[in-house]
Chain A
Amino acid sequence: MSTIVLMKAFESVPGRYDLGMRLITFGEIAQLRREISEAIPANSKVLDIGCGTGELLPLLVRRGARVTAIDKSPEMVKTARERVAVEGIGDDVSINQSTAMEVDRLYKDAEFDAVVLSLVMSELTNEERGWVLNQCARILKPSGVLLVADEFWPRSFLRRTAFSILRFPLHLLTYLYTQIRGLVTTNVWWKIYYVIVELPLMLLSFLVSEPLTNPLKSPETFLPQKLTVAHTSEFWGGAVRLLKIRKED
Protein backbone atom coordinates (compact mmCIF):
# COMPACT_ATOMS: atom_id res chain seq x y z
CA MET A 1 0.00 0.00 0.00
CA SER A 2 1.28 3.43 -0.85
CA THR A 3 -0.03 6.95 -0.68
CA ILE A 4 0.25 9.43 -3.47
CA VAL A 5 0.39 12.54 -1.32
CA LEU A 6 4.11 12.27 -2.08
CA MET A 7 3.39 13.28 -5.67
CA LYS A 8 3.05 16.87 -4.45
CA ALA A 9 6.79 16.80 -3.74
CA PHE A 10 7.63 16.18 -7.38
CA GLU A 11 5.26 18.64 -8.96
CA SER A 12 7.75 21.45 -9.42
CA VAL A 13 9.89 19.50 -11.90
CA PRO A 14 7.84 17.66 -14.55
CA GLY A 15 10.59 15.17 -15.48
CA ARG A 16 11.07 14.21 -11.87
CA TYR A 17 7.29 13.97 -11.46
CA ASP A 18 7.00 11.06 -13.90
CA LEU A 19 9.84 9.17 -12.27
CA GLY A 20 8.49 9.97 -8.79
CA MET A 21 5.01 8.73 -9.66
CA ARG A 22 6.45 5.47 -10.97
CA LEU A 23 8.47 5.02 -7.79
CA ILE A 24 5.78 5.84 -5.24
CA THR A 25 3.19 3.68 -7.02
CA PHE A 26 5.68 0.82 -7.57
CA GLY A 27 5.15 1.05 -11.30
CA GLU A 28 1.42 0.39 -11.02
CA ILE A 29 0.68 3.84 -12.45
CA ALA A 30 1.22 2.33 -15.93
CA GLN A 31 -1.49 -0.25 -15.25
CA LEU A 32 -3.83 2.50 -14.04
CA ARG A 33 -3.25 4.53 -17.20
CA ARG A 34 -3.85 1.48 -19.39
CA GLU A 35 -7.17 0.82 -17.67
CA ILE A 36 -8.19 4.46 -18.13
CA SER A 37 -7.47 4.35 -21.86
CA GLU A 38 -9.28 1.00 -22.26
CA ALA A 39 -12.39 2.44 -20.62
CA ILE A 40 -12.61 5.17 -23.27
CA PRO A 41 -15.06 4.41 -26.09
CA ALA A 42 -13.25 4.00 -29.44
CA ASN A 43 -13.03 7.08 -31.71
CA SER A 44 -14.44 9.44 -29.12
CA LYS A 45 -13.94 13.03 -28.08
CA VAL A 46 -12.17 13.18 -24.71
CA LEU A 47 -11.40 15.91 -22.17
CA ASP A 48 -8.43 15.24 -19.87
CA ILE A 49 -8.70 17.61 -16.88
CA GLY A 50 -5.35 17.96 -15.11
CA CYS A 51 -3.26 16.22 -17.78
CA GLY A 52 0.04 16.77 -15.93
CA THR A 53 2.99 15.75 -18.08
CA GLY A 54 0.59 14.20 -20.60
CA GLU A 55 1.59 10.56 -20.18
CA LEU A 56 -1.99 9.49 -20.80
CA LEU A 57 -2.35 11.38 -24.09
CA PRO A 58 -0.56 8.91 -26.47
CA LEU A 59 -2.61 6.03 -25.00
CA LEU A 60 -5.84 7.91 -25.63
CA VAL A 61 -4.90 8.84 -29.19
CA ARG A 62 -4.03 5.20 -29.89
CA ARG A 63 -7.65 4.39 -29.01
CA GLY A 64 -8.64 6.77 -31.78
CA ALA A 65 -9.66 9.59 -29.46
CA ARG A 66 -9.45 13.30 -30.21
CA VAL A 67 -8.24 14.79 -26.94
CA THR A 68 -8.57 18.21 -25.33
CA ALA A 69 -6.31 18.48 -22.30
CA ILE A 70 -6.00 21.17 -19.63
CA ASP A 71 -3.65 21.66 -16.69
CA LYS A 72 -3.25 24.55 -14.28
CA SER A 73 0.55 24.51 -14.24
CA PRO A 74 2.40 26.22 -17.12
CA GLU A 75 5.42 23.89 -16.68
CA MET A 76 3.22 20.81 -16.96
CA VAL A 77 1.52 22.21 -20.07
CA LYS A 78 4.92 22.87 -21.64
CA THR A 79 6.12 19.32 -20.91
CA ALA A 80 2.88 17.80 -22.18
CA ARG A 81 3.15 19.80 -25.41
CA GLU A 82 6.73 18.60 -25.91
CA ARG A 83 5.59 15.02 -25.41
CA VAL A 84 2.80 15.47 -27.94
CA ALA A 85 5.30 16.90 -30.45
CA VAL A 86 7.74 14.02 -29.92
CA GLU A 87 4.99 11.42 -30.30
CA GLY A 88 3.73 13.18 -33.44
CA ILE A 89 0.10 13.22 -32.24
CA GLY A 90 -0.34 16.98 -32.44
CA ASP A 91 -3.28 16.71 -34.86
CA ASP A 92 -5.41 14.84 -32.35
CA VAL A 93 -4.45 16.71 -29.16
CA SER A 94 -4.88 20.28 -28.04
CA ILE A 95 -3.52 21.39 -24.67
CA ASN A 96 -4.44 24.56 -22.80
CA GLN A 97 -3.38 26.07 -19.52
CA SER A 98 -6.49 26.30 -17.39
CA THR A 99 -7.85 25.08 -14.06
CA ALA A 100 -10.70 22.63 -13.52
CA MET A 101 -12.74 25.54 -12.16
CA GLU A 102 -12.89 27.18 -15.59
CA VAL A 103 -14.53 24.40 -17.63
CA ASP A 104 -17.93 26.12 -17.43
CA ARG A 105 -16.75 28.87 -19.79
CA LEU A 106 -14.59 26.67 -21.99
CA TYR A 107 -16.90 23.85 -23.12
CA LYS A 108 -20.46 23.54 -24.38
CA ASP A 109 -23.16 21.15 -23.11
CA ALA A 110 -22.76 17.52 -24.25
CA GLU A 111 -19.46 18.20 -26.00
CA PHE A 112 -17.48 15.10 -24.90
CA ASP A 113 -17.88 11.33 -25.00
CA ALA A 114 -15.52 10.95 -22.06
CA VAL A 115 -13.92 13.09 -19.34
CA VAL A 116 -10.85 12.01 -17.35
CA LEU A 117 -10.15 13.34 -13.83
CA SER A 118 -6.86 11.71 -12.89
CA LEU A 119 -5.46 12.77 -9.48
CA VAL A 120 -7.42 16.02 -9.63
CA MET A 121 -10.27 15.49 -7.19
CA SER A 122 -8.04 14.92 -4.15
CA GLU A 123 -6.55 18.39 -4.60
CA LEU A 124 -9.93 20.13 -4.56
CA THR A 125 -12.10 21.22 -1.64
CA ASN A 126 -15.47 19.51 -1.13
CA GLU A 127 -17.28 22.46 -2.70
CA GLU A 128 -14.97 22.47 -5.71
CA ARG A 129 -15.45 18.71 -6.17
CA GLY A 130 -19.21 19.10 -6.29
CA TRP A 131 -18.95 21.95 -8.77
CA VAL A 132 -16.50 20.13 -11.07
CA LEU A 133 -18.60 16.93 -11.11
CA ASN A 134 -21.73 18.90 -12.00
CA GLN A 135 -19.81 20.51 -14.86
CA CYS A 136 -18.60 17.07 -16.02
CA ALA A 137 -22.20 15.89 -16.08
CA ARG A 138 -23.07 18.94 -18.19
CA ILE A 139 -20.32 18.62 -20.80
CA LEU A 140 -20.70 14.84 -21.19
CA LYS A 141 -22.94 13.48 -23.92
CA PRO A 142 -25.79 11.22 -22.77
CA SER A 143 -24.28 7.84 -21.74
CA GLY A 144 -20.85 9.47 -21.72
CA VAL A 145 -18.12 8.14 -19.43
CA LEU A 146 -16.42 9.96 -16.57
CA LEU A 147 -13.21 8.38 -15.29
CA VAL A 148 -12.08 9.35 -11.80
CA ALA A 149 -8.69 7.95 -10.75
CA ASP A 150 -7.67 9.06 -7.29
CA GLU A 151 -6.62 8.41 -3.74
CA PHE A 152 -9.46 7.01 -1.58
CA TRP A 153 -9.85 6.16 2.07
CA PRO A 154 -9.81 2.34 2.13
CA ARG A 155 -13.12 0.67 3.02
CA SER A 156 -12.18 -1.59 5.91
CA PHE A 157 -11.46 -0.02 9.30
CA LEU A 158 -8.17 -1.86 9.68
CA ARG A 159 -6.85 -0.74 6.31
CA ARG A 160 -8.09 2.79 6.87
CA THR A 161 -6.17 2.94 10.16
CA ALA A 162 -3.02 1.52 8.57
CA PHE A 163 -3.43 3.98 5.70
CA SER A 164 -3.66 7.04 7.98
CA ILE A 165 -0.72 5.87 10.09
CA LEU A 166 1.38 5.45 6.95
CA ARG A 167 0.10 8.61 5.37
CA PHE A 168 0.85 10.97 8.25
CA PRO A 169 4.69 10.83 8.14
CA LEU A 170 4.69 10.82 4.34
CA HIS A 171 2.39 13.83 4.30
CA LEU A 172 4.62 15.61 6.83
CA LEU A 173 7.79 14.87 4.86
CA THR A 174 6.15 16.02 1.64
CA TYR A 175 4.96 19.20 3.31
CA LEU A 176 8.42 19.98 4.69
CA TYR A 177 9.97 19.24 1.31
CA THR A 178 7.54 21.53 -0.51
CA GLN A 179 8.42 24.28 1.98
CA ILE A 180 12.16 23.84 1.56
CA ARG A 181 12.38 23.19 -2.19
CA GLY A 182 11.51 26.82 -2.89
CA LEU A 183 14.75 27.98 -1.28
CA VAL A 184 16.97 29.75 -3.75
CA THR A 185 20.01 30.29 -1.57
CA THR A 186 22.96 28.12 -2.58
CA ASN A 187 24.87 28.76 0.64
CA VAL A 188 24.72 25.55 2.65
CA TRP A 189 25.02 27.40 6.00
CA TRP A 190 21.98 29.51 5.17
CA LYS A 191 20.11 26.31 4.36
CA ILE A 192 21.06 24.69 7.67
CA TYR A 193 20.14 27.89 9.51
CA TYR A 194 16.79 27.95 7.72
CA VAL A 195 15.92 24.38 8.62
CA ILE A 196 16.87 24.85 12.29
CA VAL A 197 15.01 28.10 12.94
CA GLU A 198 12.08 27.48 10.60
CA LEU A 199 11.34 23.92 11.71
CA PRO A 200 9.10 24.91 14.66
CA LEU A 201 7.14 27.27 12.40
CA MET A 202 6.89 24.69 9.61
CA LEU A 203 5.61 22.04 12.02
CA LEU A 204 3.00 24.43 13.45
CA SER A 205 1.96 25.45 9.93
CA PHE A 206 1.64 21.81 8.93
CA LEU A 207 -0.70 21.13 11.84
CA VAL A 208 -3.04 24.04 11.10
CA SER A 209 -2.93 24.07 7.28
CA GLU A 210 -5.23 22.34 4.88
CA PRO A 211 -3.69 18.97 3.87
CA LEU A 212 -1.86 18.91 0.54
CA THR A 213 -4.30 16.30 -0.76
CA ASN A 214 -7.57 14.98 0.66
CA PRO A 215 -8.32 11.32 -0.15
CA LEU A 216 -11.88 10.81 -1.35
CA LYS A 217 -14.61 9.08 0.62
CA SER A 218 -17.00 6.60 -0.97
CA PRO A 219 -18.40 7.81 -4.33
CA GLU A 220 -22.00 8.08 -3.05
CA THR A 221 -20.91 10.97 -0.83
CA PHE A 222 -19.86 13.23 -3.69
CA LEU A 223 -21.48 12.09 -6.96
CA PRO A 224 -24.37 14.18 -8.31
CA GLN A 225 -27.60 12.37 -9.16
CA LYS A 226 -27.06 12.17 -12.91
CA LEU A 227 -23.84 10.17 -12.48
CA THR A 228 -23.64 6.52 -11.38
CA VAL A 229 -20.63 4.28 -10.83
CA ALA A 230 -20.55 1.48 -13.42
CA HIS A 231 -17.30 -0.18 -12.42
CA THR A 232 -14.51 0.21 -9.83
CA SER A 233 -10.91 -1.04 -10.08
CA GLU A 234 -8.79 -1.00 -6.95
CA PHE A 235 -5.06 -0.53 -6.59
CA TRP A 236 -2.88 -0.79 -3.50
CA GLY A 237 -5.51 -2.33 -1.25
CA GLY A 238 -8.19 0.15 -2.24
CA ALA A 239 -6.12 3.25 -1.45
CA VAL A 240 -6.24 4.24 -5.11
CA ARG A 241 -9.31 3.52 -7.20
CA LEU A 242 -10.42 4.00 -10.76
CA LEU A 243 -14.12 4.75 -11.01
CA LYS A 244 -15.87 4.32 -14.34
CA ILE A 245 -18.88 6.58 -14.02
CA ARG A 246 -21.72 6.71 -16.50
CA LYS A 247 -23.97 9.65 -17.23
CA GLU A 248 -27.59 8.58 -17.29
CA ASP A 249 -29.57 9.34 -20.42
Chain B
Amino acid sequence: MKEFLLDLLQLFFRMIPHPTKPRLILFGKPDRGSPVLVTVNSSLTVRRLSKALKGENCYLLVAPAGGINVWCGSVGGHFTIESIISIIKTSNIAQLVDHRRIILPQLCAASITSKELNARAGWSAQFGPIRAEDIHEYLGNGKRLTPAMTDICYSAKNRLEMAVAMSGSIIVRYSIFPLVIFGLWGFSRFAANVFLASAGLHLFNEKLPGSSNTRKAMFIGAILAPALLFVSWTAEGITLWPSLALILLPAGATLLVGSAHSGYTPFKQCGYSRQFYGYPPLKIDIVAEDCTGCTLCDWVCPVDCFDAVTQPNNRIVYVMAKPSNCVECGACLVQCPTEAVINMLETAPNQLPLSCS
Protein backbone atom coordinates (compact mmCIF):
# COMPACT_ATOMS: atom_id res chain seq x y z
CA MET B 1 0.00 0.00 0.00
CA LYS B 2 2.81 2.39 0.99
CA GLU B 3 4.63 1.47 -2.20
CA PHE B 4 1.50 2.07 -4.29
CA LEU B 5 1.07 5.56 -2.80
CA LEU B 6 4.74 6.34 -3.40
CA ASP B 7 4.39 5.17 -7.02
CA LEU B 8 1.34 7.39 -7.42
CA LEU B 9 3.07 10.40 -5.88
CA GLN B 10 6.13 9.98 -8.08
CA LEU B 11 3.96 9.50 -11.16
CA PHE B 12 2.04 12.67 -10.32
CA PHE B 13 5.35 14.56 -9.95
CA ARG B 14 6.88 12.83 -12.95
CA MET B 15 8.16 16.15 -14.29
CA ILE B 16 10.64 16.54 -11.44
CA PRO B 17 13.53 14.13 -10.83
CA HIS B 18 13.35 11.36 -8.21
CA PRO B 19 17.01 10.67 -7.55
CA THR B 20 18.16 7.69 -5.53
CA LYS B 21 21.71 6.73 -4.62
CA PRO B 22 23.77 5.29 -7.50
CA ARG B 23 24.83 1.83 -6.35
CA LEU B 24 25.21 -1.86 -7.07
CA ILE B 25 22.26 -4.11 -6.15
CA LEU B 26 22.56 -7.90 -6.00
CA PHE B 27 19.61 -10.13 -6.82
CA GLY B 28 19.55 -13.78 -5.69
CA LYS B 29 23.01 -15.38 -5.61
CA PRO B 30 24.90 -13.97 -8.61
CA ASP B 31 28.23 -15.61 -9.55
CA ARG B 32 31.15 -14.59 -11.76
CA GLY B 33 29.17 -15.31 -14.92
CA SER B 34 25.87 -13.67 -13.96
CA PRO B 35 24.44 -10.92 -16.14
CA VAL B 36 25.05 -7.27 -15.24
CA LEU B 37 22.09 -4.97 -15.89
CA VAL B 38 22.24 -1.18 -15.89
CA THR B 39 19.53 1.34 -15.18
CA VAL B 40 19.12 4.99 -14.13
CA ASN B 41 18.93 6.30 -10.55
CA SER B 42 15.25 7.26 -10.71
CA SER B 43 13.72 5.72 -7.60
CA LEU B 44 10.48 4.83 -9.41
CA THR B 45 12.47 2.99 -12.09
CA VAL B 46 14.68 1.18 -9.57
CA ARG B 47 11.67 0.10 -7.50
CA ARG B 48 9.84 -1.33 -10.50
CA LEU B 49 12.92 -3.03 -11.85
CA SER B 50 13.71 -4.55 -8.45
CA LYS B 51 10.22 -6.04 -8.35
CA ALA B 52 10.70 -7.55 -11.81
CA LEU B 53 14.15 -8.94 -10.95
CA LYS B 54 12.98 -10.89 -7.89
CA GLY B 55 14.03 -14.50 -8.28
CA GLU B 56 16.80 -13.78 -10.82
CA ASN B 57 20.50 -14.15 -10.11
CA CYS B 58 22.06 -10.97 -11.44
CA TYR B 59 23.74 -7.65 -10.70
CA LEU B 60 22.01 -4.32 -11.20
CA LEU B 61 24.08 -1.15 -11.60
CA VAL B 62 22.11 2.00 -10.75
CA ALA B 63 23.91 4.69 -12.76
CA PRO B 64 23.95 8.38 -11.82
CA ALA B 65 21.57 10.04 -14.31
CA GLY B 66 19.97 12.91 -12.40
CA GLY B 67 17.05 10.82 -11.15
CA ILE B 68 15.32 10.98 -14.52
CA ASN B 69 13.70 8.04 -16.32
CA VAL B 70 15.61 6.13 -18.99
CA TRP B 71 14.05 7.58 -22.15
CA CYS B 72 13.94 11.26 -21.11
CA GLY B 73 17.33 10.97 -19.42
CA SER B 74 18.90 9.43 -22.48
CA VAL B 75 17.48 11.82 -25.08
CA GLY B 76 17.91 14.80 -22.70
CA GLY B 77 21.61 14.21 -22.03
CA HIS B 78 21.47 12.97 -18.43
CA PHE B 79 21.92 9.22 -18.94
CA THR B 80 25.18 9.07 -20.87
CA ILE B 81 28.29 6.95 -21.39
CA GLU B 82 29.84 8.89 -18.49
CA SER B 83 27.02 7.74 -16.16
CA ILE B 84 27.81 4.14 -17.03
CA ILE B 85 31.59 4.55 -16.77
CA SER B 86 31.16 6.13 -13.33
CA ILE B 87 29.04 3.30 -11.92
CA ILE B 88 31.23 0.59 -13.47
CA LYS B 89 34.27 2.10 -11.75
CA THR B 90 32.79 3.00 -8.37
CA SER B 91 30.85 -0.26 -7.97
CA ASN B 92 33.97 -2.38 -8.59
CA ILE B 93 31.85 -4.71 -10.72
CA ALA B 94 34.95 -5.74 -12.69
CA GLN B 95 36.16 -7.57 -9.57
CA LEU B 96 32.90 -9.49 -9.24
CA VAL B 97 32.45 -10.92 -12.76
CA ASP B 98 34.73 -12.49 -15.34
CA HIS B 99 32.91 -11.17 -18.41
CA ARG B 100 32.82 -7.54 -19.58
CA ARG B 101 29.24 -7.23 -20.88
CA ILE B 102 26.39 -5.11 -19.61
CA ILE B 103 22.71 -5.20 -20.51
CA LEU B 104 21.18 -1.78 -21.12
CA PRO B 105 17.52 -0.76 -21.25
CA GLN B 106 16.63 -0.41 -24.93
CA LEU B 107 15.32 3.13 -24.57
CA CYS B 108 18.80 4.48 -23.86
CA ALA B 109 19.88 3.59 -27.40
CA ALA B 110 19.57 7.27 -28.35
CA SER B 111 22.68 8.16 -26.34
CA ILE B 112 24.77 5.08 -25.63
CA THR B 113 26.61 2.85 -28.09
CA SER B 114 28.48 -0.34 -27.33
CA LYS B 115 31.31 0.81 -29.59
CA GLU B 116 32.04 3.95 -27.58
CA LEU B 117 31.68 2.17 -24.24
CA ASN B 118 34.13 -0.46 -25.44
CA ALA B 119 36.65 2.14 -26.57
CA ARG B 120 36.41 4.20 -23.40
CA ALA B 121 35.91 1.60 -20.71
CA GLY B 122 36.57 -1.83 -22.19
CA TRP B 123 33.02 -3.04 -21.65
CA SER B 124 30.57 -4.01 -24.35
CA ALA B 125 26.84 -3.42 -24.15
CA GLN B 126 23.77 -5.11 -25.53
CA PHE B 127 20.25 -3.79 -25.42
CA GLY B 128 17.69 -5.65 -23.37
CA PRO B 129 13.91 -5.29 -23.46
CA ILE B 130 12.09 -1.98 -23.04
CA ARG B 131 9.82 -3.13 -20.22
CA ALA B 132 10.92 -4.52 -16.85
CA GLU B 133 8.17 -7.19 -17.07
CA ASP B 134 9.92 -8.81 -20.05
CA ILE B 135 13.32 -9.21 -18.36
CA HIS B 136 12.47 -12.55 -16.74
CA GLU B 137 11.62 -14.08 -20.13
CA TYR B 138 14.61 -12.37 -21.77
CA LEU B 139 17.13 -13.75 -19.26
CA GLY B 140 15.43 -17.16 -19.27
CA ASN B 141 15.73 -17.34 -23.07
CA GLY B 142 19.49 -16.93 -23.05
CA LYS B 143 19.27 -13.13 -23.42
CA ARG B 144 17.30 -13.34 -26.64
CA LEU B 145 14.90 -10.56 -27.54
CA THR B 146 11.57 -11.12 -29.22
CA PRO B 147 10.25 -8.38 -31.55
CA ALA B 148 7.44 -7.65 -29.06
CA MET B 149 10.01 -6.80 -26.37
CA THR B 150 11.52 -4.06 -28.52
CA ASP B 151 8.37 -2.07 -29.24
CA ILE B 152 6.67 0.29 -26.85
CA CYS B 153 3.11 -0.49 -25.85
CA TYR B 154 0.36 1.75 -24.60
CA SER B 155 -1.91 -0.49 -22.55
CA ALA B 156 -4.81 0.68 -20.40
CA LYS B 157 -2.48 0.66 -17.37
CA ASN B 158 0.13 2.75 -19.23
CA ARG B 159 -2.59 5.16 -20.29
CA LEU B 160 -3.85 5.64 -16.76
CA GLU B 161 -0.30 6.20 -15.52
CA MET B 162 0.31 8.78 -18.21
CA ALA B 163 -2.99 10.48 -17.31
CA VAL B 164 -1.78 10.82 -13.71
CA ALA B 165 1.60 12.13 -14.88
CA MET B 166 0.07 14.58 -17.33
CA SER B 167 -2.51 15.94 -14.89
CA GLY B 168 0.26 16.31 -12.31
CA SER B 169 2.42 18.37 -14.60
CA ILE B 170 -0.49 20.59 -15.69
CA ILE B 171 -1.80 21.08 -12.15
CA VAL B 172 1.65 22.01 -10.79
CA ARG B 173 2.34 24.36 -13.70
CA TYR B 174 -0.96 26.18 -14.05
CA SER B 175 -2.80 26.02 -10.71
CA ILE B 176 -1.46 29.42 -9.74
CA PHE B 177 -3.97 31.05 -12.13
CA PRO B 178 -7.24 29.54 -10.79
CA LEU B 179 -5.82 29.83 -7.28
CA VAL B 180 -5.23 33.57 -7.62
CA ILE B 181 -8.48 34.31 -9.47
CA PHE B 182 -10.97 31.97 -7.75
CA GLY B 183 -9.16 30.80 -4.60
CA LEU B 184 -9.13 27.23 -3.29
CA TRP B 185 -12.65 26.67 -4.62
CA GLY B 186 -11.44 27.29 -8.17
CA PHE B 187 -8.23 25.32 -7.67
CA SER B 188 -10.06 22.15 -6.62
CA ARG B 189 -12.45 22.39 -9.61
CA PHE B 190 -9.56 23.05 -11.97
CA ALA B 191 -7.55 20.09 -10.65
CA ALA B 192 -10.54 17.75 -10.89
CA ASN B 193 -11.23 18.90 -14.45
CA VAL B 194 -7.63 18.41 -15.51
CA PHE B 195 -7.52 14.90 -14.10
CA LEU B 196 -10.85 13.81 -15.57
CA ALA B 197 -10.05 15.28 -18.98
CA SER B 198 -6.56 13.67 -18.93
CA ALA B 199 -7.95 10.27 -18.00
CA GLY B 200 -10.69 10.52 -20.65
CA LEU B 201 -8.35 11.64 -23.38
CA HIS B 202 -5.74 8.96 -22.68
CA LEU B 203 -8.14 6.06 -22.16
CA PHE B 204 -10.56 6.76 -25.00
CA ASN B 205 -8.36 8.72 -27.42
CA GLU B 206 -9.12 6.61 -30.49
CA LYS B 207 -12.88 6.53 -29.79
CA LEU B 208 -13.42 10.25 -29.23
CA PRO B 209 -14.79 12.39 -32.07
CA GLY B 210 -12.63 15.19 -33.50
CA SER B 211 -9.61 15.32 -35.77
CA SER B 212 -7.09 16.72 -33.26
CA ASN B 213 -6.36 16.12 -29.58
CA THR B 214 -7.51 19.64 -28.73
CA ARG B 215 -10.91 18.96 -30.34
CA LYS B 216 -11.16 15.61 -28.60
CA ALA B 217 -10.37 17.34 -25.30
CA MET B 218 -12.96 20.02 -26.02
CA PHE B 219 -15.50 17.25 -26.54
CA ILE B 220 -14.70 15.98 -23.04
CA GLY B 221 -14.94 19.56 -21.77
CA ALA B 222 -18.38 19.86 -23.31
CA ILE B 223 -19.47 16.96 -21.11
CA LEU B 224 -17.61 18.05 -17.98
CA ALA B 225 -18.79 21.68 -17.89
CA PRO B 226 -22.57 20.98 -17.88
CA ALA B 227 -22.05 18.16 -15.37
CA LEU B 228 -20.18 20.54 -13.04
CA LEU B 229 -22.82 23.22 -13.53
CA PHE B 230 -25.60 20.78 -12.77
CA VAL B 231 -23.94 19.60 -9.54
CA SER B 232 -23.24 23.17 -8.50
CA TRP B 233 -26.78 24.38 -9.24
CA THR B 234 -28.44 21.57 -7.31
CA ALA B 235 -26.11 22.11 -4.34
CA GLU B 236 -25.62 25.87 -4.23
CA GLY B 237 -28.41 27.35 -6.38
CA ILE B 238 -27.98 29.34 -9.58
CA THR B 239 -25.56 32.27 -9.24
CA LEU B 240 -23.81 34.17 -12.02
CA TRP B 241 -20.08 34.22 -11.04
CA PRO B 242 -19.61 30.62 -9.92
CA SER B 243 -21.51 29.50 -13.02
CA LEU B 244 -19.23 31.54 -15.28
CA ALA B 245 -16.19 30.11 -13.46
CA LEU B 246 -17.53 26.59 -13.94
CA ILE B 247 -17.53 27.17 -17.70
CA LEU B 248 -14.12 28.86 -17.80
CA LEU B 249 -12.28 26.29 -15.64
CA PRO B 250 -13.19 23.19 -17.71
CA ALA B 251 -12.53 25.16 -20.89
CA GLY B 252 -9.03 26.10 -19.72
CA ALA B 253 -8.34 22.64 -18.37
CA THR B 254 -9.39 20.85 -21.54
CA LEU B 255 -7.38 23.20 -23.76
CA LEU B 256 -4.24 22.55 -21.69
CA VAL B 257 -4.87 18.82 -21.61
CA GLY B 258 -5.51 18.71 -25.35
CA SER B 259 -2.34 20.55 -26.26
CA ALA B 260 -0.17 18.55 -23.86
CA HIS B 261 -1.58 15.12 -24.68
CA SER B 262 0.55 13.94 -27.59
CA GLY B 263 3.78 14.63 -25.68
CA TYR B 264 2.57 12.28 -22.95
CA THR B 265 1.99 9.38 -25.29
CA PRO B 266 4.91 7.22 -26.38
CA PHE B 267 4.21 8.13 -29.99
CA LYS B 268 5.20 11.80 -30.09
CA GLN B 269 8.07 13.83 -28.81
CA CYS B 270 7.09 16.36 -26.16
CA GLY B 271 6.48 19.75 -27.72
CA TYR B 272 8.61 21.42 -25.04
CA SER B 273 11.85 19.86 -26.19
CA ARG B 274 11.58 21.47 -29.60
CA GLN B 275 10.05 24.79 -28.54
CA PHE B 276 12.48 25.49 -25.69
CA TYR B 277 15.53 23.24 -25.89
CA GLY B 278 16.10 23.20 -29.64
CA TYR B 279 15.74 19.47 -30.09
CA PRO B 280 16.38 19.02 -33.79
CA PRO B 281 13.50 17.70 -35.92
CA LEU B 282 14.41 14.37 -37.49
CA LYS B 283 13.29 12.89 -40.78
CA ILE B 284 14.96 9.51 -40.90
CA ASP B 285 15.90 7.63 -44.04
CA ILE B 286 18.35 4.84 -44.89
CA VAL B 287 20.87 5.02 -47.72
CA ALA B 288 20.53 1.54 -49.25
CA GLU B 289 24.10 1.47 -50.63
CA ASP B 290 25.56 2.00 -47.16
CA CYS B 291 23.26 -0.43 -45.34
CA THR B 292 24.85 -3.75 -44.38
CA GLY B 293 21.60 -5.28 -43.15
CA CYS B 294 22.99 -5.61 -39.61
CA THR B 295 19.43 -5.28 -38.12
CA LEU B 296 20.54 -2.94 -35.33
CA CYS B 297 18.23 -0.05 -36.35
CA ASP B 298 15.29 -2.42 -36.40
CA TRP B 299 16.09 -3.74 -32.91
CA VAL B 300 16.57 -0.33 -31.29
CA CYS B 301 13.56 1.34 -32.94
CA PRO B 302 10.86 1.47 -30.25
CA VAL B 303 8.02 2.04 -32.75
CA ASP B 304 8.83 -0.48 -35.50
CA CYS B 305 9.64 1.93 -38.36
CA PHE B 306 11.96 -0.30 -40.37
CA ASP B 307 11.44 -3.30 -42.65
CA ALA B 308 13.95 -5.58 -44.30
CA VAL B 309 13.77 -5.81 -48.10
CA THR B 310 15.69 -8.04 -50.48
CA GLN B 311 17.31 -6.16 -53.33
CA PRO B 312 17.52 -7.66 -56.88
CA ASN B 313 21.10 -8.79 -56.16
CA ASN B 314 19.81 -10.76 -53.13
CA ARG B 315 21.31 -8.26 -50.68
CA ILE B 316 19.11 -7.63 -47.63
CA VAL B 317 18.85 -3.98 -46.62
CA TYR B 318 16.61 -2.07 -44.25
CA VAL B 319 14.25 0.69 -45.36
CA MET B 320 12.20 3.32 -43.58
CA ALA B 321 8.85 1.59 -44.10
CA LYS B 322 6.58 3.45 -41.68
CA PRO B 323 7.74 7.07 -41.37
CA SER B 324 4.47 8.05 -39.69
CA ASN B 325 5.39 5.83 -36.72
CA CYS B 326 8.64 7.71 -36.08
CA VAL B 327 8.97 9.43 -32.66
CA GLU B 328 12.22 11.14 -33.69
CA CYS B 329 14.15 9.68 -30.76
CA GLY B 330 17.31 9.36 -32.87
CA ALA B 331 18.25 5.87 -31.62
CA CYS B 332 18.74 4.45 -35.13
CA LEU B 333 20.83 7.47 -36.13
CA VAL B 334 23.17 7.02 -33.17
CA GLN B 335 23.44 3.23 -33.39
CA CYS B 336 23.94 2.64 -37.12
CA PRO B 337 27.54 1.36 -37.46
CA THR B 338 27.93 2.47 -41.10
CA GLU B 339 26.10 5.79 -40.94
CA ALA B 340 23.59 4.51 -43.45
CA VAL B 341 20.78 5.98 -41.34
CA ILE B 342 20.56 9.68 -42.11
CA ASN B 343 18.50 12.67 -41.04
CA MET B 344 17.03 14.24 -44.19
CA LEU B 345 16.61 17.58 -42.40
CA GLU B 346 20.26 17.83 -41.44
CA THR B 347 23.22 17.27 -43.73
CA ALA B 348 25.90 18.13 -41.15
CA PRO B 349 27.23 15.35 -38.87
CA ASN B 350 24.49 14.16 -36.58
CA GLN B 351 24.62 15.63 -33.16
CA LEU B 352 21.85 15.76 -30.62
CA PRO B 353 22.77 18.78 -28.51
CA LEU B 354 20.26 18.88 -25.74
CA SER B 355 19.99 19.47 -22.07
CA CYS B 356 16.50 19.34 -20.64
CA SER B 357 15.04 17.68 -17.63
Contact = CB atoms under 8 A, between A and B. Distances in A.
Interface of A: 72, 99, 101-102, 104-105, 125, 127-128, 130-131, 179, 182-185, 190, 194, 196-198, 200-201, 204-205, 208-210
Interface of B: 13, 15-19, 22, 64, 66-67, 82, 85-86, 89-90, 120-122, 169, 172-174, 176, 275-278, 355-357
B89 A104 contact: yes
A219 to B, nearest CB: 20
Contacts, number: 73
B181 to A, nearest CB: 15
Interface centre among B22, B82, B89, B169 (most CB of A within 10 A): B89
Nearest to A98: B120
B241 to A, nearest CB: 25
Given A179-B357, A208-B17, 19 more contacts: A72-B82, A102-B120, A104-B89, A105-B120, A105-B121, A105-B122, A125-B64, A125-B86, A127-B22, A182-B356, A183-B276, A184-B278, A185-B276, A198-B173, A201-B16, A204-B13, A208-B19, A209-B66, A210-B19
B278 to A, nearest CB: 3
21 contacts: A101-B82, A125-B22, A127-B22, A128-B90, A131-B89, A182-B276, A184-B278, A190-B275, A190-B276, A197-B173, A197-B174, A198-B173, A200-B172, A201-B172, A204-B16, A204-B172, A205-B357, A208-B16, A208-B18, A209-B17, A210-B66
Contacts of A130: 90
B89 A200 contact: no
Contacts of A127: 22, 90
A200 B355 CA distance: 19
A185 B16 contact: no
A179 B357 CA distance: 8
Contacts of A183: 276-277
A183 to B, nearest CB: 5
Nearest to B119: A105
B86 A128 contact: yes
* 3 A-B pairs with the lowest CB-CB distances in the bound complex, closest first: A184-B278, A127-B90, A197-B173
A102 B13 contact: no
Contacts of A125: 22, 64, 86, 90
